[in-house]
Amino acid sequence: MKVAVVTGASRGIGEAIARALAEEGYALAIGARSVERLKKLAEELGGEVFYHHLDVSRPESVEEFANKTIERFGKVDVVVANAGLGYFGRLEELGEEEFHEMIEVNLLGMWRTIKAFLRNLKETNGVVVAVTSDVSARLLPYGGGYTATKWAARALVKTFQIENPDVRFFELRPGAVDTYFGGSKPGKPKEKGFLKPEEVAEAVKYLLRLPKDVRVEELMLRSMYQKPEY
């Protein structure tokens, strides 16, 4: 049985990916800050699901989550580094704490997560799906701090790939998605340019079904209703 790790799995894109991988027959290790939501998701999914509190902004939390995952399953085949957050506004109005939190979660959190599982991924010739954003290679006015962390995360993933050719790194770059992101709530119409989390999860399923000798280095997907900006 293949084992997949999903961070930020309590809702939104992470929850949708966890559900999709459970349908694909993966055993799951899911982590997020909301243990109650994780517990509910694990109960709904059934099967081999391990859940544990995870705050990727804290090195000790990532280390504990990784250790307990390996203790439970003995290996890891896929790591979906999905945890992320965003604060928006003009750069000069962005608070120091907000900017620092985005760096801790979006950049350092991804680095910590990948690093914690890298040795095991090398043993299984595994896969990392790094969820960044369509703004990891373009600019976004009033989102400069968030965008900066996603550009940096993109550089991080590419460098991990160069240094670890025996592991496949997929950068998944979704555009606007109908989630709780940025303080909003789900329920936004597709006609406003939003993908559904389940559509992003379908892309992950596609990537993981590819032969092991195929490496998709990045995949950007956006709603047909979102303006094509590059």
One-letter identity of residue 204: V
The SS3 of residue 221 is: strand
87 classed as catalytic: no
The rounded distance, in Å, linking the Cα atoms of 33 and 56 is 9
The rounded distance, in Å, linking the Cα atoms of 200 and 180 is 15
Q: How far is CA 17 from the centre of its chain?
A: 9
Gyration radius of the chain's alpha carbons: 17
CA terminus-to-terminus distance, the chain: 40
The stretches of the chain forming alpha helices (DSSP H) are 12-23, 35-45, 59-73, 96-102, 109-124, 144-163, 197-209
The rounded distance, in Å, linking the Cα atoms of 77 and 82 is 16
- The residue from 26, 87, 142, 146 that is catalytic is 146
Catalytic residues: 146
